[in-house]
Amino acid sequence: MAKKIRVKLVRSTIGKNPNQVATVKALGLRKIGSEVEFEVNASLLGMVETVAHLVVWEDVK
């Protein structure tokens, strides 16, 4: 079984760098409080790191 993480948008993307806004959309996050689960891979971790100041993430068991 692959490791999974849950990513939650906790801050607004208003006024942020367009690259960061696009990354949040690509993660499937729309409104503040929305959550998505992903299987962990290197590209996903890079995306989460890019918007780390806008999201929180946790391991899913």
- pLDDT one-digit tens code per residue, 18-59: 999 999 999 999 999 999 999 999 999 999 999 999 999 999
Tell me which residue of 54, 41, 49 sits closest to 13, measured CA to CA.
Answer: 54
Residue 1 has pLDDT above 80, yes or no: no
Domain boundaries, the chain: 4-60
pTM of the model: 0.91
The string over 41-59, giving b where at least 16 C-beta atoms fall within 10 Å of a residue's C-beta and e elsewhere, is eeeeeebbebbeebbebee
Confidence at residue 2, expressed as pLDDT on a 0 to 100 scale: 83
Cβ(39)–Cβ(4) below 8 Å: yes
pLDDT at residue 55, rounded to an integer:
98
Query: What pLDDT was estimated at residue 30?
Result: 96
Fold annotation for 4-60: Ribosomal Protein L30; Chain: A, (3.30.1390)
